[in-house]
């Protein structure tokens, strides 16, 4: 039987937090889910957390410990958390971190497993020394109903590294390696020495997809197959890349393309645009046609 090594909190048991956390539970880790949606918490308590995939992976259900945010005080007399994954929307980061801070072990730390760039917000509350980040790249998960996490694709596996965990200072540490080990239960993972570059690269991806889907009501596939919207999204990505470069970030591949390729495509390079289009169409075959970004 697995010896439990750390006590883990998942603050925000939505799409990403629920997906990563469910796999940790399945692997035998000691995980507590904390979430503000009463119906979701109630369903998890009664029926566990169910995880499904659009492709290639059988569904599973795991019994979990789930607390509503109003019930968190009941853990005050328990062993404190060694690791707290904050998986809330960006606008909920500050209060969620403030809530979990008092339940951290003296050497415990908080991991931002979120979109956007929230490490500074977390560090303002718990300190930079207790702050790590983890990117979830092209994970395409959602929470369609209480107690159900659905991934609109199969696993990334060797073809695409989904999770990238790192320290804010860029050094490879046992803490970053432990975060990598935990999220690797869910899919491929690595420790990165370039957290800020990874963060901005994911921000570019979100900028190219989420807002357009939210404004139009279209799925990712529908946006991709609309020439005007697809090329508009490339121009948005191009601008975001240039801003990141001006800020000094070392950007990683975006949609499996060099950032400079997308930047040039958005600036009018027709050959670069054709290359971008071809690669994005190729990658779209991995995901279900009905898949939407989290804002969509």
Whether pLDDT at 4 is above 90: no
**One domain for residues 142 and 32:** yes
**One domain for residues 19 and 149:** yes
The domain that holds 158 is classified in CATH as 3.40.50.720
**One domain for residues 85 and 15:** yes
**One domain for residues 117 and 152:** yes
**One domain for residues 187 and 42:** yes
Mean predicted confidence (pLDDT) in 70-99? 98
Find the DSSP H helices in 190-226. Answer: 195-216, 220-224
- Among all chains, which residue has been given the structure tokens 């400079």? 260
Domain membership flag for residue 139: yes
Domain membership flag for residue 289: no
What's the mean pLDDT when you consider all of the chain?
95
Whether pLDDT at 295 is above 60: no
pLDDT at 91: 97
Helices 93-101/119-126 angle, 10° precision: 30
**One domain for residues 248 and 277:** yes
Mean predicted confidence (pLDDT) in 272-285? 94
Domain membership flag for residue 63: yes
The domain boundary, picked from 174, 193, 212, lies at 193
pLDDT tens readout for residues 21-34: 999 999 999 999 99
Whether pLDDT at 66 is above 90: yes
Domain membership flag for residue 254: yes
**One domain for residues 152 and 214:** no
Output 27-31 pairs: Cβ under 8 A, ≥24 positions apart. Answer: 27/2, 27/185, 28/1, 28/2, 28/4, 29/2, 29/4, 29/5, 29/182, 29/185, 30/4, 30/6, 31/64, 31/65
Number of domains in the chain: 2
Distance CA 140, CA 119 (A): 22
The domain boundary, picked from 140, 162, 193, lies at 193
**One domain for residues 141 and 245:** no
State the residue range of the domain holding 268: 199-284
The domain boundary, picked from 193, 218, 248, lies at 193
Whether pLDDT at 296 is above 50: no
**pTM, rounded to two decimals:** 0.94
**One domain for residues 162 and 256:** no
pLDDT tens readout for residues 95-112: 999 999 999 999 999 999
**One domain for residues 67 and 121:** yes
């Amino acid at each position: 039987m697995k010896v439990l090594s750390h006590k883990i909190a998942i603050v925000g048991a939505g799409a990403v937090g629920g997906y990563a956390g469910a796999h940790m539970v399945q692997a035998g880790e000691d995980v507590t889910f904390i979430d503000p949606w009463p119906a979701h918490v109630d369903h998890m308590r009664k029926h566990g957390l169910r995880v499904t995939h659009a492709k290639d992976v059988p569904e599973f259900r795991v019994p979990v410990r789930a607390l509503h945010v109003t019930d968190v005080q009941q853990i005050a007399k328990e062993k404190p958390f060694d690791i707290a994954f904050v998986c809330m929307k960006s606008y909920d980061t500050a209060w969620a971190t403030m809530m979990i801070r008092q339940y951290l072990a003296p050497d415990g730390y908080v991991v931002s497993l979120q979109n956007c760039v929230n490490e500074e917000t977390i560090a303002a509350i718990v300190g930079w020394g207790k702050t790590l980040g983890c990117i979830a790249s092209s994970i395409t998960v959602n929470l369609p109903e209480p107690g159900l996490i659905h991934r609109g694709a199969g696993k990334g596996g060797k073809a695409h590294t989904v999770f990238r965990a790192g320290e804010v200072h860029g050094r490879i540490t046992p803490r970053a390696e432990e975060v990598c080990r935990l999220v690797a239960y869910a899919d491929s993972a690595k420790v990165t020495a370039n957290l800020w570059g990874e963060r901005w690269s994911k921000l570019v991806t979100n900028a190219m997809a989420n807002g357009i889907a939210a404004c139009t009501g279209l799925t990712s596939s529908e946006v991709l197959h609309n020439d005007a919207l697809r090329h508009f999204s490339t121009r948005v990505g191009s601008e975001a890349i240039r801003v990141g470069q001006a800020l000094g970030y070392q950007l990683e591949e975006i949609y499996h393309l060099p950032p400079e390729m997308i930047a040039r495509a958005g600036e009018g390079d027709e050959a670069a645009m054709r290359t971008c289009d071809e690669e994005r169409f190729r990658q779209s075959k991995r995901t279900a046609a009905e898949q939407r970004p989290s804002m969509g």
